[in-house]
């Protein structure tokens, strides 16, 4: 297929307009089991999406300016976040943990970027500044490994971390953001005090994972747009 499917382009048609001033358009999308689990015991990455759903996810990746995953997902899954095109990654962290991403054994995004010729875009890591000198050491190491580290500016500190992140990304020219997870990030976007999600697209796989699987929470439902479920497995 050489063009994005019509059901996705029509779903995201409004993203051609000017985004809000304080944030990009945001699509929250992930795959879950019937009992609402997005990963297995101890975060084991699961192939919940079938072929059709993966094709959809890869098209979605091409239809957004950037993809966000939490540092937990970046470290646990070591994702590529690619498809036919290459992508920017931004991920959010309030701790030094995200900066561990520079570890070469688990940094496919950095390796793809280093290959050049469009194999992958430069990963961005978003972090709050930490007073610990170790933070600066790790930031420098991550930048040396090829990432761009964005530090949340002090003037955004009073806002919720999601609002501050989105504002920063918008300032950096990101007009549309695809948020893939994981559990904490999904929970944070569902619970953000300002409405900040335009589209929710959930793949449901016809499996049960059980209580030890990883799940997200929906602290508050703050949006009125319809949800889109992608069920064919």
Ligand X SMILES: Nc1nc(O)c(N)c(N[C@@H]2O[C@H](COP(=O)(O)O)[C@@H](O)[C@H]2O)n1
From the list ligand X, ligand NAI, none, pick the one residue 112 interacts with, judged by a Cβ distance below 5 to 8 Å according to partner type. none
Residue 81 beta carbon to ligand X: minimum distance, rounded to whole angstroms: 5
The answer to whether 215 and 37 are in contact (CB under 8 A) is: yes
The answer to whether 227 and 199 are in contact (CB under 8 A) is: no
Using rule CB under 6 A, residue 49 touches ligand X: yes
DSSP-derived secondary structure letter, 111 = H
**Rg of the Cα trace of the chain?**
17
In this chain, which of 9, 45, 187, 215 binds ligand X, going by CB under 6 A? 45
Residues 72-111 that bind ligand X (CB under 6 A): 73, 77, 79-82
Stretch that binds ligand X, among 47-55, 121-129, 135-143, 212-220 (CB under 6 A): 47-55
Give the distance, in angstroms, between the CA of residue 226 and the centroid of all CA atoms in the same chain: 21
Q: Please say which residue, 62 or 160, places its beta carbon nearer to ligand NAI.
A: 160
Residue 1 beta carbon to ligand X: minimum distance, rounded to whole angstroms: 17
Using rule CB under 6 A, residue 28 touches ligand X: no
Residue 78 beta carbon to ligand NAI: minimum distance, rounded to whole angstroms: 10
Residue 197 beta carbon to ligand X: minimum distance, rounded to whole angstroms: 16
The answer to whether 81 and 67 are in contact (CB under 8 A) is: yes
Task: Give 31's strand partners.
Answer: 203
The answer to whether 53 and 46 are in contact (CB under 8 A) is: no
E strands present in 58-212: 66-69, 88-93, 124-127, 148-151, 176-181, 199-205
Q: Please say which residue, 167 or 204, places its beta carbon nearer to ligand X.
A: 204
From the list ligand X, ligand NAI, none, pick the one residue 80 interacts with, judged by a Cβ distance below 5 to 8 Å according to partner type. ligand X
In this chain, which of 8, 12, 26, 31 binds ligand X, going by CB under 6 A? 31
Cα–Cα distance measured from residue 205 to residue 209, given in angstroms and rounded to the nearest whole number:
10
Longest CA pairwise span in the chain (Å): 50
Residues near ligand X (CB under 6 A): 31, 45-49, 57, 69, 73, 77, 79-82, 180-181, 203
């Amino acid at each position: 297929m050489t063009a994005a499917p019509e059901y996705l382009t029509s779903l995201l048609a409004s993203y051609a307009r000017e985004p809000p001033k304080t944030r990009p358009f945001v699509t929250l999308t992930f795959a879950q089991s019937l009992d609402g689990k997005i990963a297995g015991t101890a975060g084991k990455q699961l192939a919940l999406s079938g072929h059709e759903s993966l094709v959809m996810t890869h098209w979605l990746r091409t239809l957004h300016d950037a993809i966000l995953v939490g540092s937990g997902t970046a470290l646990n899954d070591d994702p590529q976040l690619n498809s036919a095109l290459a992508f920017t990654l931004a991920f959010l962290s309030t701790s030094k943990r995200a900066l561990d991403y520079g570890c070469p054994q688990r940094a496919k995004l950095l390796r793809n970027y280093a290959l050049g010729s469009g194999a992958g875009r430069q990963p961005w890591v978003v972090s709050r500044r930490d007073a610990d000198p170790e933070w600066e050491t790790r930031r420098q190491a991550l930048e040396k490994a090829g990432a761009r580290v964005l530090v949340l500016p002090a003037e955004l500190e009073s806002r919720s971390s999601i609002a501050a992140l989105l504002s920063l990304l918008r300032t950096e020219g990101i007009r549309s953001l695809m948020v893939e997870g994981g559990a904490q990030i999904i929970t944070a976007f569902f619970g953000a005090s300002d409405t900040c999600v335009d589209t929710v697209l959930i793949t449901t796989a016809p499996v049960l994972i059980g209580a030890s699987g990883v799940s997200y929470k929906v602290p508050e439902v703050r949006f009125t747009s319809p949800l889109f479920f992608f069920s064919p497995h």
